[in-house]
Amino acid sequence: MSRFLRIPNTEVSRVSKGAPVTEGDPIEQHVAEPLAVGVPIPRRTDLQKIYLKFGSFDYKDQIFIIFLYMGMDYVDPVKKSGVKRKIVFAACLVMLCITMIKLSPSFGSPSPFSRHEAGVTHVLVTGGDPKAVSFEILAENTVMYYVEVTNWQYGQVNKIFSENAFDAVMHFAAVAYVGESTLDPLKYYHNITSNTLVVLEAMATHNVNTLIYSSTCATYGEPDKMPITEETPQNPINPYGKAKKMAEDIILDFHKNSDMAVMILRYFNVIGSDPDGRLGEAPRPELREHGRISGACFDAARGITNGLKVRGTDYKTADGTCIRDYIDVTDLVDAHVKALEKAQPGEVGIYNVGTGRGRSVNEFVKACKMATGVNIKVDFLPRRPGDYAEVFSDPSKILRELNWSAQYTDLEKSLRVAWRWQKLHLNGYGPSKV
């Protein structure tokens, strides 16, 4: 039983619009209830004109209509005294407040997942674009709650926890561009480190005792020895890696005095798209300069940019370009499923999530040209601040303990799947271009 739910944004709630009103519809069908007993009803024709003017309306429109309602002439021909007018106005104001509350999408509709279910795991998932998320491929008997949080103050996050019965949290939410982190480090420390602390505090308050944390190989920095194991010293060299390591340290310190089940997954370089076409890579335009090589290759192939910029050709590698361990996003999803299944109270699991094989940037560009069928123009530039020469994983621990290994290891095939998504979604997750 695999389901998913997007909890409304903590600052903006969308509600479906009501049915349009047509001439001849009874007023009672569209008014929730009279404003107050004994308050004269507006003339039918005037109210109908208001509804006909607005046609299909949501609860904010209805509130506006109520304001108009209060300002209309009454049918009662008897002139009221000043005191009586004030009483009527006060009654209208009170009922307006009640009506606003009742018309609110959250009134009288508690979350359908506000209680724990026997045999079902309720998982809070933070981060990403809701239009890009598909959880149908996740573990059976798991309910995924997607949350796009724009206000990471504790009160807002705590409200989400208080309204829903979570059994576990998958904390993905983070900015993740090495180049950008060197230009705007405070953004990264706040978004990654501080927000992780907020999530932990809410988990502790509401006794949610399983955490799957999205970390990165950038916490290792540039080790002297390859491949990287989980025991490799962590010496990050850019604010992105440093912020992630700080978040890991906070989690581990908190765990020392709790029975929380913790799984920390250190990703290597994620590429690819969902083979069924449900999601793909679509960075915001302003981040293209700092984006990942796969997105840069596709932008060049589509003519969005004038060629591909390869930064750094003087590294101590076979062809002078950086070496990375590219992990397909589908394998990454599977790693999270297995981590959730194997998480144990009071235990910490730390795992590298990679293929165990390093590929140079030149190899990647060649595979991208083959996958897209485009002879991409390549410009070679100086190194990018914060980059390191070589990094690839030793994934033997995750194979041994979680029975996970990368299955989508054909670089060209992964890029071909991602390219197919790019061609079908020229505007990313936005409206299709005509």
Helix axes 293-302, 411-424, angle to 10 degrees: 50
Residue 250's nearest CA partner among 264, 238, 237 is 264
Structure confidence by residue, pLDDT tens digits, 395-420: 999 999 999 999 999 999 999 999 99
Structure confidence by residue, pLDDT tens digits, 295-348? 889 999 999 889 998 888 999 899 999 999 999 999 998 999 999 999 999 999
Tokens representing residue 133 in the block: 């998320």
Distances (CA, A) of 81 to 36, 78, 84, 93, 369: 18, 10, 5, 18, 83
The two tokens of residue 224 are 């002297």
Residue with token string 């194991």? 229
pLDDT tens, 177-208?
888 898 999 999 999 999 999 999 999 999 99
Tokens of 370: 């083959």
Residue 25 above 50 pLDDT? no
Q: Which CATH class is domain 121-424?
A: alpha beta
Contact, 312 vs 321, CB < 8 A? yes
In degrees, to the nearest 5, what angle opens at C-alpha 134 toward C-alphas 203 and 142?
Answer: 50
Closest residue by Cα to residue 166 from 128, 205, 139: 205
Where does residue 207 fall: left (phi above 0), alpha (psi -120 to 50 degrees), or beta otherwise?
A: left
pLDDT in tens, 201-259: 999 999 999 999 999 999 999 898 999 999 999 999 999 999 999 999 999 999 999 99
Active site residues: 240
CB 402 within 8 A of CB 339: yes
In the chain, CATH 3.40.50.720 covers 121-424
Contacts of 381 (CB under 8 A, 6+ apart): 309, 310, 311, 312
pLDDT in tens, 39-70: 333 333 333 332 333 333 333 333 232 222 23
315 is written with which tokens? 């590294």
Q: Is the pLDDT of residue 352 over 50?
A: yes
Would strands 168-171 and 142-147 be described as parallel, antiparallel, or unpaired?
A: unpaired
Question: Lowest-confidence range among 14-28, 131-145, 358-372, 378-392?
Answer: 14-28
